[in-house]
Structure 1
Amino acid sequence: MVFVIGVIAMLVPVSIAGPDNQRIGCGNAIAANDTEARQADNANPVNLPIIDEIVPHTD
């Protein structure tokens, strides 16, 4: 009985709280689906490149 409950629990979808309290789906314990998480991460302004890291220093 415990084994069956464990297998069912692994199939339950997992999600996290994103910005503005939106839910971001991550798949389940067996198969990850991180496309929604990547889209939310790409929209985050923290991920913008820093000019000093892109342009080499001339010193």
Structure 2
Amino acid sequence: MLTLRSGLAGIVDDQQAYQAVLDAICGIDASRADAFRRATRWRVGRMLSESGQAHDVHTDGNGD
């Protein structure tokens, strides 16, 4: 399950998770999905919420 606390390194290594994140951002704004893909630093210890683009993706209200 992906949440805003999911690790970026794990997302980039999981094709389904990576695509789900891009699809979610693209559903809001395709140019932001492209910017997310190009600009995100996929480092161990960084969470999706730290990516700069993901904060606009709708969540369940609990940060998940």
Q: Which has the higher strand share?
A: 1
TM-score (structure 2 length as normaliser): 0.26
The structure showing larger relative contact order (alpha-carbon pairs under 8 Å, at least 6 residues apart) is 2
Q: Which has the higher helix share?
A: 2
Tell which structure's C-alpha radius of gyration is larger: 1
TM-score (structure 1 length as normaliser): 0.27
